[in-house]
C-alpha cells in the first residue's frame, strides 16, 4: 500500500484493515516525520511506533517501522538515499529476514 496522503497516525489502522482482508507476509511502514516547533512531533512519533508494533503483534506477522523521525529536512534526505544510505532498503532486508524466520519457525 503506497499512500503518501495518509497521516502516519492512520497507518496502524490501515495496515490492520489490510491484514484482515489480504494475507501478506509482512508490511513496511515507510515515511518521514520532521520535527516542528511544538511537542506534537513526539506524540505523533510515539503513537505511530506503538501502533505499528501493536499491529505486528496482533497479526503475528512482521510490521517493520521505517518512519524517519528527523529534526530537519536535511536529516531526512541524508537517511533516504543520501550520505547515511537508504533506510527503506534496510527495512526491506529486515522484513525479508523476519518473514523467512517466521516461516521457518512455523514449519
**Active site amino acids:** 40
Residues 6 or more apart whose Cβ sits within 8 Å of residue 54: 12
Between vectors from CA 88 to CA 82 and to CA 91, what angle results, nearest 5°?
A: 135
Secondary structure class of 85 (helix, strand, coil): strand
3-state helix, strand, coil in the chain (%, to 5): 55, 20, 25
Amino acid at each position: 500500500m503506497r499512500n503518501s496522503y495518509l497521516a502516519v497516525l492512520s497507518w496502524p489502522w490501515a495496515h490492520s484493515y489490510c491484514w484482515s482482508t489480504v494475507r501478506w507476509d509482512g508490511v513496511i511502514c515507510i515515511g518521514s516525520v520532521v520535527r516542528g516547533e511544538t511537542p506534537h512531533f513526539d506524540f505523533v512519533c510515539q503513537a505511530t511506533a506503538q501502533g505499528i508494533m501493536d499491529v505486528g503483534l496482533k497479526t503475528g506477522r512482521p510490521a517493520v517501522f521505517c518512519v524517519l523521525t528527523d529534526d530537519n529536512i536535511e536529516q531526512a534526505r541524508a537517511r533516504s538515499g543520501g550520505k547515511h544510505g537508504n533506510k527503506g532498503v534496510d527495512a526491506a532486508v529486515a522484513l525479508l529476514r523476519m518473514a523467512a524466520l517466521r516461516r521457518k519457525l512455523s514449519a
